[in-house]
Structure 1
């Protein structure tokens, strides 16, 4: 349990980086950032795939199709929604919405995976969910108040950002559940091999997406400096950093956690991503969080620890009356 939690924490620290990318590149279209990140991820996966080629050969066509689906929904579409949401609504609002993932995944998994993982009684699960929800609310209260107080705020733009963030939540509710399905069904397979397989599956999607984005921007007469924008070295460096740390290493750590933890518990540990994203945002701003934010962080941590104390109860099949 604790080793799985440590891997989930490491994944959260890596994944928190994806929230600061759009804030550091506000002039870059969301599509270019999404495809750029996963183009870097796919290129990084190539030498890793060569080193791991023997185990990759053991994957069936069905496995590669699943890797492609996971790459499309959990990588490309998710980050396209998220980066577009951050650019339209700023960092806090999408972070708040994405921060509901632990609750959404825990509830969905408890309804969906009870036969495999056992079922956490709702009364046992409720305190940790309430603590996590209260913590997320506290962390974002100050930020949302600042948005409401801004006379120049474009609430239509914020609403679109919120809708895009909800789309990201849908993608990343589906991804960890399907990813855990494959990992739990293949306990003999290496999580690092599966992370590399997803990177390789992402590469053709990213190449096609980047080329199409480039072509559409060129045909529309955009004055954006193609192919790498007005800050090419910074853009490439940031995409490689996020591709290596958030995409490959983050996925590897999450796969390790998913093989060790019940999906209901693992889903709640995505809260580490929210904590990391908020921490990085405050570092970029150059000032520490206030007391309400610190209270929210405390509630989040207590909620996670409460979740770890919960143990799923196996479902006992009822005997047939005959």
Structure 2
């Protein structure tokens, strides 16, 4: 029965991770949809909407939740909001707009490797040697995704490429810190539901967006017309609802169902769906390298699931009665 419950948790957690990746893949499209707006404006617009929605949803439960939270909890929420939302999205958007989606996807594609290596130190984690096939497949997928970006004839030349690469690496570091910290924060606070935790992070992120609002709006009103602002608002609200509210809730649910070493692998779904949305947006078929990347992503996740399956030992035969059962 224990093995069956474990297998059910793995299946439900994987489904939640795939759904979260499908919604999070949309954030790569936002900088392309409203390219005339800066990464800071994109971040502030998205997280103002996220914070407002979170405040409306959490209102009826505010008294109960406020009694459960300590000063330390609020500090944890603040740095999770900074690393996983505000700073991460500024860096991601800058990477996409300066170095392009392929190079940014390449770097972000290494998130599973980084998170899994950190998570391997947790108690009862699957040893890295058992995860080696999955990690190698994931690294191969990331290399395939960025193959064209690494081609000197196709890469963005000059300073823009260097800045974009640095921002993508910064985003990788930010989300590695967030993924590990968020999983551990959820595990240490069983009294707070994953939905409420997501909304609380939304409040913290919204507060940070309010602080950044004057900087984002500096000189922006004169640079854009009403139509552009309307499109910007629609994209901001759409990404906030799909990625920040629903996607984060699914991710938090997954974080409680799966071990941390497997949580890292689920991030690959974001890369896969980002590519699919990119093909649709650019109205083209994937290249052989991109097909190989998608195949490796799927193989990596399946390999990781296999590594986390419970190991059933056969019962000893009558002739082996002298050997104790384990």
Give the aligned partner of residue 138 of structure 1: 144
Give the aligned partner of residue 319 of structure 1: none
2:153 alignment partner, one of 149, 171, 175: 149
Structure 2 residues without counterparts, runs of 5 or longer = 1-9, 311-326
Following superposition, the deviation at residue 60 of structure 1 comes to: 2.6
1:302 partnered with 2:299 = yes
CA–CA separation in structure 2 for the residues paired with 1:230 and 1:29: 17
Give the aligned partner of residue 288 of structure 1: 285
Give the aligned partner of residue 234 of structure 2: 237
Alpha-carbon displacement from aligned partner over 1:295-322 (angstroms, at most 9, x marks no partner): 2211110111000111399xxxxxxxxx
Give the aligned partner of residue 52 of structure 1: 61
CA contact (8 A) 1:101 1:267 kept: yes
Alpha-carbon displacement from aligned partner over 1:99-125 (angstroms, at most 9, x marks no partner): 1100111011113x2x2xx13222211
Q: What does residue range 158-307 of structure 1 map to in structure 2 within 5 Å?
A: 158-215=161-218, 217=219, 224-225=223-224, 231-307=228-304
Give the aligned partner of residue 20 of structure 1: 29
Query: 3-state SS of the aligned residue for 1:231?
Result: helix
Task: Give the 3 Å change call, closer, same or farther, for CA 16–229 of structure 1 in structure 2.
Answer: farther
Query: 3-state SS of the aligned residue for 1:142?
Result: coil
CA–CA separation in structure 1 for the residues paired with 2:281 and 2:93: 17
Task: Give the 3 Å change call, closer, same or farther, for CA 310–54 of structure 1 in structure 2.
Answer: farther
CA–CA separation in structure 1 for the residues paired with 2:14 and 2:163: 34
CA–CA separation in structure 1 for the residues paired with 2:227 and 2:161: 26
Higher alpha-carbon Rg: 2
Query: 3-state SS of the aligned residue for 2:29?
Result: helix
Task: Give the 3 Å change call, closer, same or farther, for CA 38–229 of structure 1 in structure 2.
Answer: farther
Following superposition, the deviation at residue 139 of structure 1 comes to: 2.7
CA contact (8 A) 2:31 2:42 kept: yes
2:99 alignment partner, one of 58, 71, 89: 89
Using the size of structure 1 for normalisation, the TM-score is 0.88
Q: What does residue range 98-137 of structure 1 map to in structure 2 within 5 Å?
A: 98-111=108-121, 113=122, 115=123, 118-137=124-143
CA–CA separation in structure 2 for the residues paired with 1:287 and 1:311: 37
Query: 3-state SS of the aligned residue for 1:300?
Result: helix
Alpha-carbon displacement from aligned partner over 1:125-184 (angstroms, at most 9, x marks no partner): 111100111122223323443xx2249x42321111000000001100000111111111
CA contact (8 A) 1:81 1:167 kept: yes
Query: 3-state SS of the aligned residue for 1:27?
Result: coil
CA–CA separation in structure 1 for the residues paired with 2:192 and 2:154: 52
RMSD: 2.0
CA contact (8 A) 1:28 1:229 kept: no
Using the size of structure 2 for normalisation, the TM-score is 0.87
Count of matched residue positions in the alignment of Structure 1 and Structure 2: 300
Following superposition, the deviation at residue 249 of structure 1 comes to: 1.1
